[in-house]
Structure 1
Amino acid sequence: MVNELLDVIRVDTKPDYTLHLTFENGEQRVFDMTPLMAKKPFDRLRDPECFAMAHIDYGTVVWPGNIDIAPETLYDRSDAIPVGEFKSFGPVGPKYQVCNPLRKMGDGDWIIEVMLIESGEKAEYRLSKIHQDPAAI
């Protein structure tokens, strides 16, 4: 739970009804809108073109038709993505950089794109594993 109210400064929508958010403290998080899409007023956002109209106003995400979500809800119910951090696959494994969230899995975990430092190759990796991996030294 956030102790201070943080403004959202950037939003990118994805076709799977997720919002990729950047907060004013630089933290990047991903918010899954799917559970809200059957509820009013969010049911009006099921049209992908309408959902993609999300933008920032007064520090939060808004859509046409006076639809918005409080920034504290976006923060508290989203998952932190350590974009840009350098990690190692386990204590002695290869180093990688955390890139972008790709999709949410059925079990609630996220698949994140990572880049292997030595080869530049990109791979997909679970967010739960990223949080367990040590910082690269």
Structure 2
Amino acid sequence: MDAAALNAFLASDFPQVANDYRVEAVDEAGLICRMIAGPQHLRPGGTVSGPSMFGLVDLAVYLLILSRIGPVGLAVTTNASIDFMRKPRAGRDLLVETRLLKLGRSLAVADGLVRAEGDEAILARASMTYSIPPRDR
């Protein structure tokens, strides 16, 4: 699936969050996803919340996997680890760059780096494992 197909999948299967996220690019190296940061993503103190950053990475890795295997709605997170390294400021979209480390028959492993738009400093680093449901043979 390319970026347009993944964005269409978001709009049809996840309309509740489709306006907050957009796949910017997908290629053989990985996927870049944008979180259009708004007031719903902020915590007290005017910073983007940790759960919002986690959600960005989780969704981006899911979409990265779908870019390889097609629209499998029941692929699910089985393990996740995230390190929050810097505090993101409000008013800037966040981008996550993901890469697939392993894609097997039943598990996929990927990582992601979160940055604020226009800034090279890494805000968070995450590792995700997804379970892929059995495919029809």
Whether the TM-score (by the shorter chain) exceeds 0.5 is: no
Q: TM-score, normalised by structure 2?
A: 0.28
More helix by share: 2
Q: Whose radius of gyration is greater, 1 or 2? A: 1
TM-score calculated relative to the size of structure 1: 0.28
Higher relative contact order (CA 8 A, sep 6+): 2
